[in-house]
Amino acid sequence: MKKLFLGIISSILFAFSANAADMRIALVVKGLGIGFFEAAAEGGEEAAKEIGGVEVIYTGPATTTAEAQIEVINSLIAQKVDAIAISANDRDALASIGKKAMDRGITVISWDSGIAEEGRVMNLDPSNTALIGSSNIKWMKNSMGDEGEFAILSATSQATNQNAWIEEMKKEHAKPEYSKMKWVDTVYGDDLFDKSYQEALGLFKKHPNLKGIIAPTSVGIVAAAKAVEDQGLVGKVFVTGLGLPSEMKAHVKSGAAIQFGIWNPIDLGYSAVYLSHQIATGAYTGQEGECIPTGRMGEICIGAGNNAAMADPFIFDASNIDKFAEIF
């Protein structure tokens, strides 16, 4: 009798674990072979291991088009996966296939690059505008000290995201702890390397006491760092902003940049898989106002339009640049 009881218990336990192992989450990326997404897949695997009993299917098309992604998703629907987390090549073109998947009972979320509201449960942005803006000012303070002149080297003057970040930087800069940091200029390098470089040289001449440049663009930050090195201003002018570690590695080594940031693709993949699991199990609905525990990333709260932002941008400096330069 006792033996039978144990047998039942163990078979129930076994059944449970078998059920859990059946959870299959597809991590669909814009295109295969892109460093950023390979890193995201690594994060997704990490989340799967941590949750336990989850299989991550890392997939995506060879060409970064919406059509190719639709084919991929069609095959995933046929395979009856439990959840699809996608970084979309086209916000609107993927909405109907996302809806089709949801109609078949598959949990669909978008991450990194979202799809329109009707095609997914929720969307996870890498970071939010306010966070990016305030982080840039903090990195500038950490790089140049809390006293002196700094300037912004942006992309084009009409770039929506850059301008929104600069607005947020203004709010952060208005705080008392930055009172001795003087914002002297905002210039635009149009995301062209040579123009950004010339703008950086112009800043040095216009503001001989300049101590820092914030470039919230991956082109501008490299151009500014190169200009600092070429002009022999390493140690006098510090560059920060948003950039890729692989592109910035040499400039961190040279000392032109002390620290800079960007959203971490590993964390992004990790969060995408974690959230998919939480919603697919039915523990959470992924609707506005909900805060979903996401493992080591803490809680991710969902805002208007079922949009959520991951976390602070990830910071890179001399201590971790080598490791991340290998990744993205």
Partner 1 sequence: MKKILLNRDFILFSIILIILIAVGFANPLFVTPKSISDVLTDTSILIILALSQMIVILIRAIDLSVASNLALSGMLISLLSTVHPELPVYYFIALSCVIGTILGVLNGISIAILKVPFIVTTLGTLSIYRGLIYFVSDGKQVYSNEFSEDFLALIHVKFLSLSFLFWLAVVVFIVIYILLNHTRFGRNLYSLGGNPDAAKYIGINENKYIIMAYSLSGFFAGLCGYLWVARYSVASTQIAIGFELTVISACVVGGISVMGGVGTVLGCVLGALLIGLIRNALPAVDISQFWQLAISGAIILLAIIINTKTEQRKEKTIMVEN
Binding site for partner 1 (CB under 8 A): 33, 157, 186-188, 191-194, 197-199, 201-203, 205-206, 208, 219, 222-223, 226, 231, 246-247, 249-251, 253, 325
Beta strands in 87-146 (DSSP E): 107-111, 122-125
Cβ-in-10-Å burial (0-12, 13-18, 19+) of 191 comes to: middle
Q: How far is the CB of 12 from partner 1 (least distance, A)?
A: 51
What strands, in cross-sheet order, belong to the sheet with 238-241? 181-188, 148-154, 210-215, 238-241
Indicate the residue among 80 and 206 with the shorter CB distance to partner 1: 206
Could you tell me which of 206, 210, 257, 269 has the C-alpha nearest to residue 229? 257
Indicate the residue among 71 and 322 with the shorter CB distance to partner 1: 322
Distance in angstroms (rounded) separating the CA atoms of residues 251 and 226: 7
Q: How far is the CB of 315 from partner 1 (least distance, A)?
A: 20
Indicate the residue among 214 and 223 with the shorter CB distance to partner 1: 223
Q: How far is the CB of 48 from partner 1 (least distance, A)?
A: 28
* Strand, helix or coil for residue 201: helix
Q: How far is the CB of 149 from partner 1 (least distance, A)?
A: 14
Q: How far is the CB of 112 from partner 1 (least distance, A)?
A: 17
Read off the DSSP letter of residue 112.
S
Indicate the residue among 130 and 166 with the shorter CB distance to partner 1: 166
Indicate the residue among 24 and 30 with the shorter CB distance to partner 1: 30
Indicate the residue among 107 and 196 with the shorter CB distance to partner 1: 196
Q: How far is the CB of 148 from partner 1 (least distance, A)?
A: 18
Determine what percent of the chain falls in helix, strand and coil, rounding each to the nearest 5. 50, 20, 30
- Beta-ladder partners of 123: 110, 307
